[in-house]
Amino acid sequence: MTVPVALNFGRDSHNYNAFAPHPSNNIFNSTLASGSAASCTVPSGTNYPYWAVSFRYQPGATVFVDVSGATAAVPAGATLVAATSELNPASLTLVAGQHISMITDDTTADVAVVMWPIGQS
């Protein structure tokens, strides 16, 4: 296993945080098909218990992401109900070994999950 690249932001010309992370070496990609979930797991077995996870979506895609351990689900009906799947989250802080599930109701949707370790034990 390669050593993960820790989350580290670049600096601008005045040495302020540029809020642009350095590239990661923990990237997962998929083309989701309608109604078919895909999943990945936050790396474990390292000295990094916490990870910053960024989600990337094809423009206009509707993607539901579940990090509760369940399989992501597309909501049904016009009533608000409790759910564990979130629509197009931008980023989340997750723990090592956490399961990530994604699903779309579009015909297809290109997605990527990019991870950086943010805490060492």
Q: Which CATH class is domain 27-119?
A: mainly beta
- What residues contact residue 100 under an 8 Å CB cut-off, 6+ apart? 39, 40, 41, 42, 53, 65, 66, 67, 94, 113
Which string of b and e fits 91-113 if b means at least 16 CB within 10 Å? ebebebebebbbbbebeebebeb
8 vs 85, higher pLDDT: 85
The Cα 106–Cα 60 span in angstroms is: 10
pLDDT tens digits along 61-85: 999 999 999 999 999 888 899 999 9
For the chain, the structural domain boundaries read 27-119
pLDDT tens digits along 24-66: 999 999 999 999 999 999 999 778 899 999 999 999 999 999 9
Report which of 110, 104, 107 is spatially closest to residue 62, judged by C-alpha positions.
Answer: 104
The Cα 83–Cα 48 span in angstroms is: 29
The Cα 83–Cα 3 span in angstroms is: 35
pTM assigned to the model: 0.85
Beta bridge partners of 115: 53
Structural contact between residues 55 and 113, judged by C-beta atoms closer than 8 angstroms: yes
